[in-house]
């Protein structure tokens, strides 16, 4: 019995040693494919604040997106399946007041790229909310309106939200 326990302990020690050395190897070839490059293209949704659902549908006809569903909330999925645009409408003559672009990615470079592209496109500075959330917020003037912007990283997507204040 002692013999088997000793063999088991040596085997476990060997496995732990292999795991430690392979995890701490520091080899530059350990990166996941595509993790060091931007894999998405920035998408700008309709910013015709106050527009009706029909006006947004007309605006989207020239885009590589297909209409999915909705009336007060409309969804459009890109033809390549890499992003979804969500529009929300207020029924009381306010029209379009919220746009969300969701990018299907878990790549940290994509997240950083979306933050810097948003800052450049809308001449704003995005500020990290706090250490608990992977989210940045900011304000910009888009089409003559002050717009709140939030960029949030989730496990399988990055969301860019645009909303006019009430």
pLDDT above 70 covers a percentage of the chain that reads 75
Tell the residue number behind the tokens 């909310």, with chain if given.
129
Question: pTM, whole model, 2 decimals?
Answer: 0.73
Report, as an integer, the average pLDDT of 19-35. Answer: 42
pLDDT tens across 4-26, in order?
Answer: 333 333 333 333 333 333 334 44
The kind and range of the H/E element at 105 are: none
Structure token digits, residue 58: 């007309």
Name which of 86, 51, 68 is nearest 159 in CA terms: 86
pLDDT tens across 90-140, in order?
Answer: 866 578 999 999 999 888 889 999 999 999 999 999 999 877 778 999 999
């Amino acid at each position: 019995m002692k013999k088997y326990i000793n063999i088991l302990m040596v085997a476990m020690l060997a496995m732990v040693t292999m795991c430690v050395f392979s995890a701490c190897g520091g080899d530059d070839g350990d990166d996941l494919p595509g993790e060091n490059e931007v894999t998405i293209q920035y998408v700008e949704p309709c910013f015709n604040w106050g527009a009706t659902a029909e006006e947004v549908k007309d605006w989207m006809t020239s885009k590589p997106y297909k209409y999915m569903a909705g009336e007060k909330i409309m969804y459009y999925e890109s033809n390549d399946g890499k992003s979804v645009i969500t529009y929300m409408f207020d029924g009381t003559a306010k029209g379009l007041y919220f746009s969300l672009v969701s990018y299907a990615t878990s790549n940290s470079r994509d997240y950083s790229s979306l933050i810097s592209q948003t800052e450049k496109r809308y001449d704003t500075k995005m500020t990290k909310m706090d250490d608990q959330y992977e989210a940045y917020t900011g304000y910009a003037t888009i089409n003559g309106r002050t717009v709140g912007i939030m960029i949030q990283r989730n496990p399988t997507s990055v969301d860019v939200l645009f909303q006019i204040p009430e």
